[in-house]
Structure 1
Amino acid sequence: MDLTKVFVSGGSTFVQHSPTTDTLYVCSNGILKIFDLTKPEQEPEVLDVITGVRSFEVGPDHAVIASKSGECHLYDLKSLKDTATLLRSPLGLMSSVFTHGGAMVLSGGLDGKLNLVDAQGSDHLLKSTVDVKEQIVALSYNDVGDLAAVSLANGDLRVYSYTAAEPTLVTTFKGMLIEGKTINDTVEDDDENDEFDDDLDLDLDNEASSSSSSPALPSLRPDWHPNGDLLAIPTRSRDIVVYDRANFSQPKFRFQPSPSKPVVDLKWSPNGKYLASAGQDGKLIIWDYKTKKSIQSCPIPVKPLSLSWSRHSDEVVVGTTAGNIGKYRLGGSKFVEDEADEADEAEEEEDIEDDLAEKATSSPSQGLFGDEDDFIIDDDGAGYVEDSGKRRAEVEPRPHKHRRVAETSSHTPSLTPLAPFSPGSTPWSSNRRYLTINPIGYAWSVKQDGYNTITITFFDRSVQKEYHFRDFSGFDVASMNGEAILLAKSGYKSRQEESRTTSTILFKSHDQSRNWQREIRLLPHEFITSVSLGPTSVFVCTSLGYVRRYSVFGRLERLEKMPPVVACINSNRYLLTVTYTSPYSLSFNLQDLEGKYYQRGEGLPVKEPIRGIFFSSDGDPCIVGEDNVVLVLTRWRDPLQACWIPILDANEGIGEVAAGGNVRAWPLGLFKDQFSFIAVRGSQYPSFPLALPSEMEVKVPIGESKEDKDGEKDDEEEAEVDKGNKPPSAEEELLRTIVQAELLNDAIANDDVEDETAEERLAALSIKYDGALLKLVGQSCNEGDVLDAFYLATKLRDDRALAAAAKMAERLGLAGLVRRINKVREGRMEVE
């Protein structure tokens, strides 16, 4: 092992490699040194950092340090500046790690609190706090599954899920780790010996180690495998035990033989093939994941403290307790990666990223695998990375003018500016994206080396358990319900190819009882734009207007051709498709699952991008456009009568229900009179972890000015406003009640409502209708507008409401109005 003195003053030395570049970061004694490994002769850059370092973590562009003083600092590795103090704790912090693709930082320490802080926003808001009621000594984060392994001073290891805004405890390993007698002085700048529990040494060696000869502290930090599935744990019995996150009840395997002394640190290699461990026995051991055994060992001249792998997985750097670092290069051809191949793969990945960035704003649903045309089933789990073919554009000469004319001939179909669409999907950000979000839950994907990991998470975890799987196809279109998820590889990256391509659709039930996969041969320039999963049917739509209906068992049942499809959604009875008409307009079709049309080729009053499309809880089609106005389709069961009614301006409504500014509503669904959404703060798209759904009451955007509202308030309403509850205006309430009653009455008449309380709700809406009219009658009476008051009174349905209107007129001395209202009452009684 090559040993290098980095800090003359000695001290605990932490090492970290950059995950994206050939850069080594070495931190100790308030100094961070940055080494460019491609220029070994060059002097390192130096950055002053906080002293008393307890943990040091490096992300793509930033580093985070937790200190014994209780502060967590964020550093910009490009500008070499201290960016922010993310957290201050009254007691010392033990560990801080990046989470959610580097967007957040999770910290824990002696106060026993797990704090999640926003690392990207300017305010660095505290997102969540979990009181574990025990001193926290180490953290390890699974960025693929958003799982945090939390090591506690009492020897317990807990795993928390951070897939949602509120963390949840997944499992607890009781007494798994070496128990610490005292944690307050576990890491000292001057390499002091610390007291840890020696009971295990007494048990195994029949004698305790003396403090004078005690090696480095045993590790309490487990490490997650790069694929996100496995967790390696250094146990108090000196075994290195590996658990699969799919089953924490029993170990998946153990590395053999066990180290002779407790492990000081352990790290998986970036390619996941090896595990490196440094122990109190002064040995660096390389373990092979495939054989589960040690394959190489090397003595460490100085007490080890931390480990880090190079991004090529061919070298391990050891940080020590004396200011040194040791470098150990894995021997043998089978350990050394082909650098030329890696350079090609890295360049290919950069090409794909550049192409994705070009379409990020207009196509939020692009996938990972670029121009890959063929679907490959990975039977052995080895994965693959194909040549994306991006260099073709660089080597082809610019076509001559006559070539351009030929390319736009009638034989080549014109390409519509469409992109794959999934409800709630987001573009890639920090190697992760949401494939779909709906009121049930969400599917999200994380990029890895040669494949993606897709995780399905539910808002109500008591109903379904979160699960994940590897995606070797590059699925970029999705739809899910309470029973299953439907995924598709759109083929969007191959849309300019002149030959036919193959796409793949995958159906997976949440309980894993029914899974199937089908391939679809697409025409040249064709790609899948949208998929929809209903209780009994699966729909797959393409950019050339082909609509395929499958059963939930994977049988093709219907094929239809229509204009290019932008988006689709289906309920248990109906299918809504949005089609492309021109660059300035969209159309919609509404049909039952057997193909009978209720509305066909009707204009849609929204512009792209479509932000949300769904059926309400009463079965009515709803759509949200770029203006965030929620539209619901009324009278759609009658030919030529369909009408889109705006029932909510989400931009206006979010300001009334959410505190603070710069908040957006990400649409999810409409449940009776409540609009469900995700509150998005300071961003265009939902971030990780995803906030829990919120609700706001629908409110017809009638364009009412603030003065109009103020003029209608009485003393009681002003009191409500003072409390933060803004009462709706009588006009808005009347319009909203009419729309809701019309929708519900139509659904009941056509037996399309599954809610048993539908009749009761309709009766309640009738009462609300008369109540809103009475408010307007009262306003007209107060203003002396007798004609308007009488006009409104004639619209009252219930005789008791007419009697109330007459009493209001009588109190104001409007005798003529009273007589006219009474005549209306008498006329209705005679008819009855």
Structure 2
Amino acid sequence: MASVIASRPRPRPAHTQGVTRCVYTPDGSKLVTVGSNNTIRLYKTGFDGEPDNIDDCQEQNIAVSTSNDFFVAGCEDGTVSLYTYGNNLFDRFLLRATLPVRDVALSPDHKWCAVASDELSVKLVSIEDSTNLRKLDEHRKPTKHLAFDPKGTLLALSCTDGVVYIYSLTAESPELITKVDGIIGRMETDSETSCQVAWHPDGRAFAVPTPTRAIQVVSKNDWEKQRAFKNGHDGDITALAWSPNGALLASAGKDKKILIWSTRDQSVVARYEYPNVVDIAWHPTKNLASFTTSDGEVFISPEFVPEQFLNLLRLPKQPAPFIHDPLVSKPPNGHKALATRPRRDSLASLEDLLDEGYGDDDDFVVDDDGAGYTLNAGRKRPAEDDPLFGSAHPSKRGNFLQPQQHESFQPGSTPWRGNRKYLCLNLIGFVWTVDQDSHHTVTVEFYDNELHRTFHFTDTFLYDKACLNDKGTLFASPPREAEGSPAVVFYRPHETWTQRNDWRIQLPKGEEVIAMSLSESFVTITTTAGYVRIYTLFGIPYRVYRPKNTPIVTCASWRDYVLTMGNGPVGPDGMCKLLYTIQNIKRDEICQNEDTVALPEGETLKSVFFSDNGDPCIYDSTGTLLTLLHWRQPSRASWVPLLDTKLLDRLAGGKKKESYFPIAVADDKFHCIILKGGDQYPYFPRPLLHEFEFEIPLTSVRPEGKPKKSKKKKSSDEMAIDGEDPFGRANESGGEEEEEEGESAEKSELKNLEQAYLLKGLRAAQMADFVDATSRSSAQRAALARLELDIDKTLLQLLAIECREGEERGMRALEAVSLLRDRSGRMIEAAGKIAERYGRTILGEKIRDLGERKIAGDDGADEDVFDD
């Protein structure tokens, strides 16, 4: 976009030589200027005559901020003064600082004034009551500039140590929420070079000058660098300001230039040639801007934006210049999707539904005589693009419900944060990319560098998805409509014995990859055309089919099995049910066909993957990890919780605020990345992986400081299990002084054993399914037998605890014995010895009776043992 040299406005001598500041009132009626002399000038917009003057003021005013009714000025003598427009007179002092004031800013509601001085703390003073003060003192250096965000909930401090400190003002006491380092430079508070934070009008980002003479945009959601305005100034930047709609940015520098930038493409559209400019102010509604210089001059430019670019100033509010704007990125499936599914505690009444969703049917029945026989008289139609009921329908029948669909996602990936994102995170390694504007730079790193070497490459296809396993790396790029380039899928094996070891395919025009997965056997691609495309690892198309429920949400695979998920029928809460299908591609067998994913109402799916043992797992927005049991048998699958992260011991006491990004299930543990504070996704540098033992949710989180397990000596029942003599040593009871501690340890031990029994039973069921579905090797059968033996050992330990509790727990003890899986009688015999050791004679007799029935194969008669 070619720049234009704009016409020159005339200088207006306003103050003596020194720093001069200017600001428009929010309604645009006045321009206020302050400077080094003891006069404040008020210029009326549209009036070319002499300004009104306020002579009753301090000298060396170097900061000003205004509302429609009053303005405040900060002075080098440490005072902050308030002036009213009605009589253009000094009203009162708001604050007195011990050191020079450097900046003042009124909050958007004009109820508070922030004051920065050479003191270390920044003060917030109430306009109505100047004795009502709040201090911001978590930064360590003086503040040169400060700025409220458009909503007034955040205050940005540009300090002399080269750090931007962001304070939250939502609580009674301001709280430092982040430090943005590495963008602004170190400087003195009286330097003419600016490090002023300028919030974009949409409130999602701010711009700030950098030491490299560029203007960097920083996003508010993650405080990462976004687009930058570069190669414009040859000197340090001294002032910058957004146009009221955010479509343009004006900046001034020591190179005697004033530049007007286009926000959309960061190009210069107009230039002024003026020296010593230190402040710029846009008029809120007109093509008008003013700027001041260190010579005390004021310039009012009535045609600040040249005519050929005036349409940019007339646009509605424009978005901040993100590298990857989350507001404009649409779900790949092209349907309306919600990142979160809002919970609805109860359905609306039929009348409310008709009122909100179907409008007033104004021409169907007309209440022209005011008799009141139209129930909906006077009611309005819903606004366009209502998130629940959709846009206004031209039909007199009104609108129908707009279903809310689950947003599609690629498991193990993160969204763009600045110019970086993780394409894949798993236990093999991770893939990440950096947006370099014209191309991307992709890096693939492995945890085991001896097995595979890290590699990186320049990516001209702009890959936005990836999968990684021991065999290779899979990439996918979106179509580029402007260039006419289709979506591309690229596979690169880690090792091969042929020279040509990678392959690349193009999808049909207009088709985009929604999600993909990579197994030891196949490449699975789900697309916006509603297809599931299966390829071999060497790029041979193996199968293409369309699942029954679309839009597709995500997919996962393991060996020959492929799991796909899609949006199904709408539930009573207006949400699409999430359905999954599992099939064996090589054998062409469907294991589960369009079954429902077990999600609580209003919750979303965060990730789906197969465990190292080949069992499907999901992680949802409640922080719960679940696995699918009996999934190889049609219509038998059920989702079983393995871990509820909200109940972790580390969260006891409520002091820690953290969430977890799921990575994998392996070695009977949950592997994840811990996210601190309000983070939803991991970021750079690469965080460490953590692992948690499975813990099926049975009880609430333990109070802080309570031990999870209690150490104990080997009990007699354990000796009986291992074939040792349970009577070979004396009873080592601790005495009455240890009774209370022993009771607490016993309860903890009981909970641990119950947990172990459930987990081992679940693992045995999964292993039995696996053995039945494959050729049974001796090693697999032996592993299953050992696991069932462990289950019986756990039940015997439970029996011992029940025996110690007393005779009244005999029924529970006998029930534990009835759950034993061993049919040889060895475990029944061990159970009888445990009962005899604790003197439970009646229990021992019933156990022997139960053992005889089990050996005889009369399982149906087990219940008779509980009868007297």
2:185·2:211 contact (CA, 8 Å) conserved in 1?
no
Note the C-alpha offset of 1:632: 0.9
**150 and 581 in structure 1: CA distance in 2 versus 1, 3 angstrom threshold:** closer
How high is the sequence identity, in percent, across the aligned residues? 16
Note the C-alpha offset of 1:621: 1.2
Paired amino acid for 2:570: P
Please give the alpha-carbon distance, in whole angstroms, between the structure 2 residues aligned to 1:718 and 1:814. 24
Alignment of 1:586-625 (within 5 A): 586-594=578-586, 595-606=588-599, 609-618=603-612, 619-624=614-619
Please give the alpha-carbon distance, in whole angstroms, between the structure 2 residues aligned to 1:100 and 1:694. 39
Please give the alpha-carbon distance, in whole angstroms, between the structure 1 residues aligned to 2:266 and 2:711. 78
Note the C-alpha offset of 1:614: 1.0
Please give the alpha-carbon distance, in whole angstroms, between the structure 1 residues aligned to 2:538 and 2:131. 57
Please give the alpha-carbon distance, in whole angstroms, between the structure 1 residues aligned to 2:114 and 2:441. 27
The residue aligned with 1:736 is 759
Asked if 1:540 is matched to 2:526, the reply is yes
Q: TM-score scaled by structure 1?
A: 0.55
Note the C-alpha offset of 1:738: 1.8
Note the C-alpha offset of 1:598: 2.2
Where relative contact order (Cα < 8 A, 6+ residues apart) is larger, the structure is: 1
**818 and 740 in structure 1: CA distance in 2 versus 1, 3 angstrom threshold:** same
1:299 aligned to which of 253, 261, 274: 274
Asked if 1:278 is matched to 2:253, the reply is yes
2:409 aligned to which of 422, 425, 449: 422
Give 3-state SS (helix, strand or coil) of 1:738's partner: helix
Q: Deviations over 1:179-206 (max 9, x none)?
A: xxxx6xx324xxxxxxxxxxxxxxxxxx
Note the C-alpha offset of 1:791: 5.1
Alignment of 1:196-595 (within 5 A): 217=192, 263=236, 265=238, 276-279=251-254, 283-284=256-257, 286=259, 296=271, 298-300=273-275, 303-306=276-279, 318=291, 320-321=293-294, 326=299, 336-339=309-312, 342-343=315-316, 363-364=338-339, 398-400=394-396, 417-422=404-409, 483=473, 486=476, 505=487, 518-519=507-508, 530-534=514-518, 537-541=523-527, 546-549=531-534, 557-565=542-550, 566-573=552-559, 574-584=561-571, 586-594=578-586, 595=588
Please give the alpha-carbon distance, in whole angstroms, between the structure 2 residues aligned to 1:490 and 1:308. 39
1:420·1:530 contact (CA, 8 Å) conserved in 2?
no
Paired amino acid for 2:142: G
Paired amino acid for 1:698: F
Provide structure 2 residue ranges, at least 5 long, that are not aligned to the other structure.
1-8, 52-65, 73-79, 81-94, 219-227, 342-383, 494-501, 572-576, 713-739, 856-868
**697 and 418 in structure 1: CA distance in 2 versus 1, 3 angstrom threshold:** same
Give 3-state SS (helix, strand or coil) of 2:611's partner: coil
Paired amino acid for 2:278: L
1:65·1:74 contact (CA, 8 Å) conserved in 2?
yes
Please give the alpha-carbon distance, in whole angstroms, between the structure 1 residues aligned to 2:327 and 2:269. 37
Paired amino acid for 2:544: L
Q: TM-score scaled by structure 2?
A: 0.53
Please give the alpha-carbon distance, in whole angstroms, between the structure 1 residues aligned to 2:238 and 2:568. 61
The residue aligned with 1:698 is 694
Note the C-alpha offset of 1:268: 9.7
In the comparison of the two structures, how many residue pairs are matched?
664
Paired amino acid for 2:754: E
Bigger shift: residues 112-121 or 780-789 = 112-121
**310 and 421 in structure 1: CA distance in 2 versus 1, 3 angstrom threshold:** farther
Q: Deviations over 1:242-300 (max 9, x none)?
A: 9999xxxxxx99969x95xx635376988999984421x7x235499999999855233
Please give the alpha-carbon distance, in whole angstroms, between the structure 2 residues aligned to 1:531 and 1:28. 60
1:70·1:88 contact (CA, 8 Å) conserved in 2?
no
Paired amino acid for 1:68: D
**570 and 291 in structure 1: CA distance in 2 versus 1, 3 angstrom threshold:** closer
**487 and 25 in structure 1: CA distance in 2 versus 1, 3 angstrom threshold:** farther
The residue aligned with 1:175 is none
Give 3-state SS (helix, strand or coil) of 1:151's partner: coil
Asked if 1:71 is matched to 2:71, the reply is no
Paired amino acid for 2:563: L
Q: Deviations over 1:513-562 (max 9, x none)?
A: 9887645558xxxxx8952343552422559x543446789886532133
Higher-Rg structure is 2
Give 3-state SS (helix, strand or coil) of 2:515's partner: strand
Give 3-state SS (helix, strand or coil) of 1:733's partner: helix
**804 and 100 in structure 1: CA distance in 2 versus 1, 3 angstrom threshold:** farther
Please give the alpha-carbon distance, in whole angstroms, between the structure 2 residues aligned to 1:327 and 1:285. 13
**395 and 55 in structure 1: CA distance in 2 versus 1, 3 angstrom threshold:** same
Note the C-alpha offset of 1:587: 3.8
Please give the alpha-carbon distance, in whole angstroms, between the structure 2 residues aligned to 1:337 and 1:437. 44
2:813 aligned to which of 789, 799, 802: 789
The residue aligned with 1:168 is none
Note the C-alpha offset of 1:92: 1.9
**151 and 56 in structure 1: CA distance in 2 versus 1, 3 angstrom threshold:** farther
Q: Deviations over 1:684-729 (max 9, x none)?
A: 977999996765543223468999xx9x99898979999xx99944
1:221·1:234 contact (CA, 8 Å) conserved in 2?
no
Paired amino acid for 1:612: K
Please give the alpha-carbon distance, in whole angstroms, between the structure 1 residues aligned to 2:136 and 2:743. 38
2:139 aligned to which of 74, 89, 105: 89
Please give the alpha-carbon distance, in whole angstroms, between the structure 2 residues aligned to 1:669 and 1:819. 48
Note the C-alpha offset of 1:337: 3.4
2:139·2:165 contact (CA, 8 Å) conserved in 1?
no
Note the C-alpha offset of 1:622: 2.0
Please give the alpha-carbon distance, in whole angstroms, between the structure 1 residues aligned to 2:488 and 2:150. 26
Alignment of 1:26-175 (within 5 A): 44=68, 46=70, 48=72, 67-72=117-122, 85-94=135-144, 109=159, 117=167, 125-127=175-177, 148-152=182-186
Please give the alpha-carbon distance, in whole angstroms, between the structure 2 residues aligned to 1:547 and 1:799. 52
2:651·2:657 contact (CA, 8 Å) conserved in 1?
no
2:840 aligned to which of 814, 824, 832: 814
2:239·2:252 contact (CA, 8 Å) conserved in 1?
yes
Asked if 1:646 is matched to 2:621, the reply is no
Note the C-alpha offset of 1:776: 1.3
Give 3-state SS (helix, strand or coil) of 1:338's partner: helix
Give 3-state SS (helix, strand or coil) of 1:336's partner: helix
**264 and 627 in structure 1: CA distance in 2 versus 1, 3 angstrom threshold:** closer
2:145·2:195 contact (CA, 8 Å) conserved in 1?
no
Please give the alpha-carbon distance, in whole angstroms, between the structure 1 residues aligned to 2:216 and 2:307. 26
Please give the alpha-carbon distance, in whole angstroms, between the structure 2 residues aligned to 1:432 and 1:285. 28
Note the C-alpha offset of 1:89: 3.4
The residue aligned with 1:498 is none
1:488·1:531 contact (CA, 8 Å) conserved in 2?
no
The residue aligned with 2:625 is 630
Note the C-alpha offset of 1:471: 12
Please give the alpha-carbon distance, in whole angstroms, between the structure 1 residues aligned to 2:155 and 2:458. 23
1:89·1:111 contact (CA, 8 Å) conserved in 2?
no
Please give the alpha-carbon distance, in whole angstroms, between the structure 1 residues aligned to 2:455 and 2:200. 22
Give 3-state SS (helix, strand or coil) of 2:338's partner: coil
Please give the alpha-carbon distance, in whole angstroms, between the structure 1 residues aligned to 2:131 and 2:47. 23
2:250·2:280 contact (CA, 8 Å) conserved in 1?
no
1:504·1:518 contact (CA, 8 Å) conserved in 2?
yes
**801 and 466 in structure 1: CA distance in 2 versus 1, 3 angstrom threshold:** farther
Note the C-alpha offset of 1:420: 3.6
Note the C-alpha offset of 1:590: 0.2
Please give the alpha-carbon distance, in whole angstroms, between the structure 1 residues aligned to 2:710 and 2:169. 46
Note the C-alpha offset of 1:567: 2.5
